[in-house]
Structure 1
């Protein structure tokens, strides 16, 4: 029909997204520091103003090493980095040696899982952090949605770490990954959810491994909920 509008000009508009295309990010992104990963992420980096969920088969498999280049980048913008309920002790000289400004690094270690969720929400609502990283193994779908809403109202890069067993659960996070430690310190990154077509194969990254620590796992009180006895365990990890 002569009066019909051609689709090609419409599909070329930047505010139109097709399901078979990798979306461009409507908000700024934080470069990951890994060219292959940036090429697979919408907008070319970790999203700001949105939640990134990273599933782990154990704390300390390399999540810090994965995010460290991005944290080093955002340092130049003067943003704060907030870590909520990390399951391992942090060695300040090692972080400083990696170029992280300790004056802008905040660690929050709540006694209970609900307090950890609240702390992460409040940090995002404050508008201060450039990056928020929260280890919340008990978080359910409702908690994930609360964090996504908080992240969407901020300009921070928000990262939530949950166990790999949560893979089958619904998640409001627009970006969802699974992280696995490989031999020789490499990491396998499987993108489970992104705005765009599925990634055919996992990515293999070779991050710098500045930390090797003996850490304390989350106390059972955080994993099993309030009232549970704290029975911390120790094991060697690569962060």
Structure 2
């Protein structure tokens, strides 16, 4: 009969963590591009196979600038697909390109409500997708739980934007961040993480891609070889009944 594992062996497992210490992630994280934020995240970066919930107090505080370094690495270095679902405004191609994102690896899905959540699940199950960025302001707990389970079954980064007012609601997301900011400064508070919440917000110096346009703007990047960069391209996503 094999000996029972010692407590130290149990605590050394990556899927076991103490609430008083920062948890270890089962997979290495994708660097955020902000060293101070990487130091606060399990895995040293944005967690793969995990739902990350972002709660900005309003659109345009720099929420996309926070994600651009990681998205650029995935599309350019790992040649992974990026999927944006239901953005509240059109994406601005020059800003994304200037930040290093390969526009030929970017897909934008136009959908809403349950169709948007369904598009997220399908994207997470698709081989070659490195990150899914979705705006789901009305997502319910059950829907978020399904997305978390779908993310766990993949190696994909999953970012879901919801209003700041959702911060008081329970969520199955292992990582939740509150975002506030103005100009070139972004305040990031870790509302929830594996290893305990963060009491003091981080102040990050973000680099907005263009002085006259944010990544969320009034023009959308074109699909590769399909239209010029000034023309919008969207994929309508609807569930089959």
Do both proteins adopt the same fold according to a TM-score greater than 0.5, normalized to the shorter chain?
yes
Structure-1 residue corresponding to 2:135: 135
- Structure 2 counterpart of 1:229: none
- Alignment-derived partner of residue 41 in structure 1: 41
CA distance, structure 1, for counterparts of residue 119 and residue 10 of structure 2: 42
Question: What's the CA shift for 1:43?
Answer: 1.1
Ranges of 4+ aligned residues in structure 1 off by more than 2 Å: 4-7, 9-17, 211-216
TM-score by length of 2: 0.81
Distance (whole Å) between structure 2 residues aligned to residue 24 and residue 10 of structure 1:
14
Unaligned 5+ runs, structure 2:
219-241
Across the aligned residues of Structure 1 and Structure 2, the Cα RMSD in angstroms comes to: 2.1
> Which residues of 2 match residues 46-195 of structure 1 at below 5 A?
46-75=46-75, 76-110=77-111, 112-182=112-182, 184-195=183-194
Structure 1 counterpart of 2:202:
203
Partner residue, 2:227? none
1:27–1:48 contact (8 Å) kept in structure 2: yes
Change (3 A) 1:6 1:156: closer
| Residue correspondences, number | 211
Could you tell me how far apart the structure 2 residues matched to 1:197 and 1:90 are? 34
Q: In structure 1, how many angstroms separate the alpha carbons of the residues matched to 2:197 and 2:163?
A: 21
User: For residues 157 and 5 of structure 2, what CA distance do their matches in structure 1 show?
Assistant: 39
Larger helix proportion of the pair: 1
| Structure 1 position 128, deviation (Å) | 2.5
User: Residue 187 of structure 1 aligns to a residue in which SS?
Assistant: strand
Q: TM-score, normalised by structure 1?
A: 0.82
Moved more, 190-199 or 207-216: 207-216
CA distance in 1, matches of 2:149, 2:80: 20
